[in-house]
Structure 1
Amino acid sequence: MARLPLTILGSVLFVAGCAGEEAPGPGGPGGPPPIVDANGVVPNYACPGSPGCEKAEGPLLVGVAARPITPVLETWDDLDGDGVRGDGEPFDDVNGNGEWDGVWLAGFAAGRAATEIHDDVWSRVLTFEQGDVSVAMVGLDLVGYFQQDVVKVRLEAAARGLDFDHVVVTSTHTHEGPDTMGMWGAEFGTTGYQEEYIQHIVTQTVDALAEAKASQKAARMKVARGEAPELVNDTRLPEVIDQSIHAAQFIDEAGAPFATLAVWGNHPEALGSDNTQLTSDYVHYLREGLEERYPGTTTVFLSGPLGGLMTTIRITGCPDAAGVETCPQGTFERAEYVGKGAADAAIAALEGSGATIEDSPSLAFRRRSFFIQPTNTGLALLVLTGVLHRDVYSRDKKLIPREQQALLSLTNVKEGDVLIGTELNGVHVGPLAIAMVPGEIYPELWMLKPDGSSYIERPEGGDFSDAMPETPIQAVLPAGVTPVIVNNANDALGYILPQTQFDDAPPYAYGEETEPQYGEENSVGYTMGPTLTKEFAAMYGR
């Protein structure tokens, strides 16, 4: 999650529900559920075995496609050199409306207008079909993408006749792309969310889904796991890092790879807070490295565990022969070093002895909706004032119309009259069991130690050190799978912490006596960790 001054109330992520402005999708007795139900909630669903997706038989068909979602920039003549477009400074009025329309970069502080495009930001998709089951995965080069807008993608795909049982939409969490959440407008308290740009993302994504679906072909699957510990750092105690760089390559009947899925947990923020060039950060170089090695392929990147904080900050960038850093944080050289380094690790894994081939990959998914009462009142205020363009739900779990949302108060939030609705997914492709979580999860809530125990701690000074530690998600996945986790999937809730490590009030844990560690301010609240892990276990019947 992007860093904000501690004086800012709360943070960026108030979880959304489903699209209140859209009509429910198709569904009915004996058939698949609607995309959203009459209460504006995404229904639970599991395939194969449910109506509409009874069987997953035969070859696995795989498709891949990509569409740029780069916004149009209206550049200006920065006459005073302050990096801010001032009154009277000439600008390129691309849309002819007589006004300068800035593209605000998300992450770090508000008011960071894009001055040029370094590389495109993308919507990249993989589609899977086996028998009656059809699933799509979307990776967007964005800081976050709320569930209500995910639903728009699903509804438009259905309206275009694309027969998907489920569409997963994730964001890479780049801190150098356009604001699609609202926090990073012209100034703090002014939304940067733009409906027209969101619709552009939806249209481009559905175009990519249509192309991928039309080009599906039978595929085998190569799966590998690499590491690049020199490229990722944990800036919050305890230091727990999932070093996994998971790579899955899809191979056609002629033996040629045509698509690669890469999953790695590391904040795409190598460019830092002073950059004003729009870019997908190190993700650009990671995909470029894989596609250069495997010509004719398309790489889809999804972010692994980001909480904790998994970051490029404080690594040694481009060390020389003496180990001295030569590409500091905030440079494109650092982004290239990280991205190409991760790509090299994935390539080495795919071409190494540990890679495995799945000749007959299987396909399945699970989806579960849940609700949570937020405890971060500053975050709630940003939603109620419209800075964060989010749907919320009533105590009886019904979508609150947008015009009524503006009438709510923080008292309503504190008394439980306002709930957040979101979803969890488990997507299984071949040996991969991919846990899809709607935020930036701390690795402690995901991983198990080699002996099967938990990394979760009870630090002295934590706000809830006597709470029951959560069951890590890996513990409830089926046996014999390769566990993978994807963050910011179908939503963007911010940091998801173990409750025993939640530390928002003094005395602070881990010896930090003067101020808390970063994370809590950008969290929905202390109940998110236990709620999410319990709901994930329930999704798997544990």
Structure 2
Amino acid sequence: DPRMSLPTVSAAQFVDDNGATVATLVNWHTHPEVMISTDEVSADFPQYLRHRLDDLLGGVTVYISGAVGGLATPLGVRVPGRDGNSQPMVDGNGQAFLYDGQSWEKARSLGIIVAEYVTDALDDAPLVMDAPLTVRASIVPLPIRNPVHAFAFYSGLVERTEGIIRDLPWFCGIFGCAPERAGYVEVGPLTLVTSPGETFAETVVGRDEMSIDYGPDWGVHTYPAITGYEELMDAEVTMHMGLCGDEIGYLVPQGDRHPSDHPENYEEFYSLGRDVETVYRWTAYLLVMGLADQS
């Protein structure tokens, strides 16, 4: 809680001078974990999405996961079936057949359905001939407060590509900071912002203050309002690319954190610490406004 999500599927189709597709970029905000319990390695539903779009549009389809923090997941969601020919499936009563649970058929159906949304959106999208490119990036020093992460880094269990910042104890604390990179890419009407972890939806689009009553043991928790970085942007199409760099875990908003024995505590254990979302979000503010230090 609070249960927020980003339901928007964003896509950009890049074509050559003859109108043939070179590549299609797709961004959606859910974990690719329909088959979460399997011991087989796969791309889950994005593989079916990519194959379907490759067949329909040509070129190469690239799928990027978005803001999946806050447990954005297809688990527990009933998905209308699509058969091996990508056609809708019906049950014995002529109603839409729905897949539940974990199955490759559900993964296939979800990927194909998202592909349908993409093609519908691209059918109505204007052709942009002049698409200036802007790229910005900035190093984000994320304070390490979680002793589990600190142990993993300092023991060598997890190898860090950028090392650890140790010369800012007043900001980073005793475990130092993990230097990560946040990026901003603008291609014509499309703007993409990157994150080094599992970003929560409210970091991107914001939220109003809200309160949730957790019963007599825990009482009411008030979640403060958040200004999402997209509220500072003027872009026709937006994308958020999560889990970049070293994939440093959940970026839990500071006002959302709960004690370890709270029923809503989960992401906190997999987060670097209480400050990471705030530091990242302010870096994103500066990036979208063109004010961040470049690196």
Q: Shorter-chain TM-score category?
A: 0.7 to 0.9
Report Cα offsets for 1:8-47 as digits up to 9, x if no partner: xxxxxxxxxxxxxxxxxxxxxxxxxxxxxxxxxxxxxxxx
The one of 298, 301, 318 aligned to 2:63: 301
Counterpart residue type for residue 72 of structure 2: M
| Change in CA separation of 1:458 and 1:387 when aligned onto 2, cut-off 3 Å | farther
Q: Distance in 1 between matches of 2:74 and 2:209?
A: 23
Deviation at 1:387, TM superposition (A): 2.3
Summarize the Cα distance change of 1:389–1:361 in structure 2 as closer, same or farther, 3 Å threshold: same
Measure how far apart 1:431 and its partner are. Answer: 0.4
Residues 210, 223 of structure 2: 8 Å contact kept? no
Q: CA shift at 1:538, angstroms?
A: 2.5
Q: Supply the AA of the counterpart residue of 2:247.
A: A
Correspondence for 1:279: 42
1:380 aligned partner = 150
When normalised by structure 1's length, the TM-score is: 0.47
Residue in 1 that maps onto 2:119: 347
The aligned amino acid for 1:534 is: W
Q: Tell me what 1:444 maps to.
A: 202
- Pair 316,471 (structure 1): closer, same or farther in 2 beyond 3 Å: same
Residue 19 of structure 2: aligned partner: 255
The correspondence for 2:191, drawn from 433, 451, 462, is 433
Residue deviations 1:243-271 (CA, integer Å, cap 9, x gap): 11111001111122221111111111111
Per-residue deviation, residues 506-530 of structure 1 (Å, max 9, x unmatched):
5x4xxxxxx3343111111211111
Q: Which amino acid aligns with 1:356?
A: P
Equivalent position of 2:232 in the other structure: 476
For residues 489 and 417 of structure 1, what CA distance do their matches in structure 2 show?
A: 22
Whether 1:358 aligns to 2:128 is yes
1:331 Cα deviation from its structure 2 partner: 1.6
Equivalences, count: 273
- Please list the CA deviations of residues 402-451 of structure 1 after superposition, one character each: whole Å capped at 9, or x if unmatched: xxxxxxxxxxxx95242211011110011011111111111011114xxx
Question: Equivalents in 1 of 2:34, 2:166: separation in Å?
Answer: 41
The answer for unaligned runs of 5 or more in structure 2 is: 82-89
Asked whether the equivalents of residues 145 and 173 of structure 2 are also in contact (C-alpha less than 8 Å), the reply is: no
Identity %: 23
Deviation, structure 1 residue 505: 4.0
Please list every run of 5 or more consecutive structure 1 residues that lacks an aligned counterpart in the other structure.
1-236, 399-413, 449-453, 509-514
Name which one, 1 or 2, has greater alpha-carbon Rg.
Answer: 1
In 1, Cα distance between equivalents of 2:211 and 2:276: 17
Task: Assess if the C-alpha contact under 8 Å between 1:375 and 1:524 holds in 2.
Answer: yes
Write 1 or 2 for the structure with the bigger share of helix.
2
Root-mean-square deviation (CA, aligned residues, Å) is: 2.7
Deviations 1:310-342 (A, max 9, x none): 111010134654779754433211110111111
Q: Is 1:530 paired with 2:286?
A: no
Scaled by the length of structure 2, what TM-score is found?
Answer: 0.83
User: What is the CA distance between 1:458 and its match in structure 2?
Assistant: 5.4
